[in-house]
Structure 1
Amino acid sequence: MTARHDGGADQERQVIDWLLAGDPALRWQVLRDLQGAPDTEWQAERARVASEGVGARLLALAGEDGQWAGGSFVPEGFTPADWKAEGQPWTATTYSLTQLREFGLDPSTPRLQEIVELVGRNSRWDHDGQSFWDGEVDTCINARTLADGSYFGLRLPTLTAWMLAEQQPDGGWNCERANGSVRSSFDTTINVLEALLELERAGQGTVETRRARHAGEEYLLERGLFRRKSTGEPADPGYLDLRYPWRWRYDVLRAADHLRAASLVDGTAPDPRIAPTIEHLRNRRRADGRWLLDEELRGRVWFTLDDGAGLPSRWVTFRALRVLRWWDAGQRA
């Protein structure tokens, strides 16, 4: 583990400049969340996501039927043998839509609105041929579908009600509930929490969705974001690794960034129970003020966003800085 490092103002400026030298999908968020730029400035940069960089590249890869790679969850023609040889693919429609949401592509973008309609008309889930925006039976898949649909301007009340009914007694969610699991999963829970927060941002939150979200957030907080409640040991050593894109995977930076976003929506201060995660993030900072990408998830992708595992990552660095600034501001308040 890298020794804790807190750089000075000059180094911070160099890191910000490095982030701003990245893609428009990252730059607009740096301007808004780290620079405090005027709305007109970051919104102008955000508008470029549809026409430049990785956002435009991904948007252009959608087919005439609105789908990516010809499928909802896996590419057309992708076989179990392919999965075994390559790992889980990330190029089909569900993960592509999620990536565009995380890039912050403006939901009003005409081509995106066309895609959303085409996907509803043409895309069917591999599970049992369900219409895409109706969801299927996997909680993680349905959570991303709910988050994406809400962000892109859809109302999905049936899927929302289904998600609330899937909540476990301990406050979280688990994709294995249909197979009898009564314990929640960190991975599943973070996907659902992001969906419920997206509902809130879209003006579709209710007393019930807020109650469910708060209970799910409490599930994570009770466990210090990465520990087993029963033993206090890390539930998975990989939860302490830092990565992006996350896909369906959980890690402490993803959880902390969600809690940051939720606190801004709820108007609440940072919860002190995430202090160990904050210390972990500080300890992982390199002497040059940046953070490394610990892992690139195995599997087929359209393109990569950083230079590779073990190297400095703009996306990880941005999110780590954003979390630390939120935390530090909360301590000064």
Structure 2
Amino acid sequence: MGRTPLRSPLPVRDGVGATRLKVPRTGEWPTISAYVAERFGHVDPERLLRRFDRGEVVDITGAPIARHTPLGATEFVWYYRELPVEKDIPFDVAIVHQDADLVVVDKPHFLPTTPGGGYVQNSALVRLRVALDNPDLTPIHRLDRVTAGLVMFSARAETRGAYQTMFADRTVEKVYEAVSAMPADGLPELPRVVRSRLSSEKGRLRVAEEVEGEPNAETAIELLRTGVSGGTDAGLPVMHTLLRPRTGRMHQLRAHLAGLGLGILNDRFYPVLEDESPDDFTRPLQLLAREIRFTDPLTGAPREFRSARVLQEAPR
């Protein structure tokens, strides 16, 4: 049986949970604070020690850890991260459905689902925890920051596992839309099912599509229509596709379309990894999580939700 997750002794604050850090039981450091100072060597050590003096670093009971507490006194410590100055994401997350157990939202492009990469307050999770006054709100699945559309959140811990199991068992039907530039050498044959092996490594920005090995990613792709974009790229010949992923690998839809020569418009990762640059809010990735369907594990009733967003470059 798996270990029971440790519950944070510190409450969620301003929508953000405390950070947990595992501390070695033995080592060359005389105190826990000395280990933390070396672990975060990019931070002024006196600044870190002052946090210990103010009682901002605690053990599992919530008791403060002093700067002189010896190494080995506890295995884990908790603290609140000092939040960075964030660039505002000027788009709102819309609530599609809310009940005692489930919250379904329509996430805009550019807003991350959870804190990360310099975004904390500007994440769907933190914004919703604050707006709904619910520190227990937790995402059941995630969308890339640059992808818009439907995301489901668990509203309480008692029923969270039932919804998470749906995704683990692949009993949730998800439907996406994408817009790609019309390929110069003509359309690939559609509809089709793309199967491949995708792998990802920590620190690598893109997945690798491997020829060898058992496929672990599958997407059904069909053509909705072709035409001319009426958005920022007005006049560009484009094609609008419907995507039904049967697995949920990282960047699966983006990699599969790029592999067909149908890289999604405004994708900075596929087929070519572009240099990092500030977000251009006028050019969102043309990928949308449009629909989600499942049988509710608590009631047995069929549930279906649909995004109200549209892709700006879709053919008019």
TM band (smaller chain): under 0.3
Which has the larger Rg? 2
Structure number with greater CO (CA < 8 Å, separation at least 6) is 1
Length-normalised TM-score, structure 2: 0.25
| Greater helix fraction, Structure 1 or Structure 2 | 1
Length-normalised TM-score, structure 1: 0.24
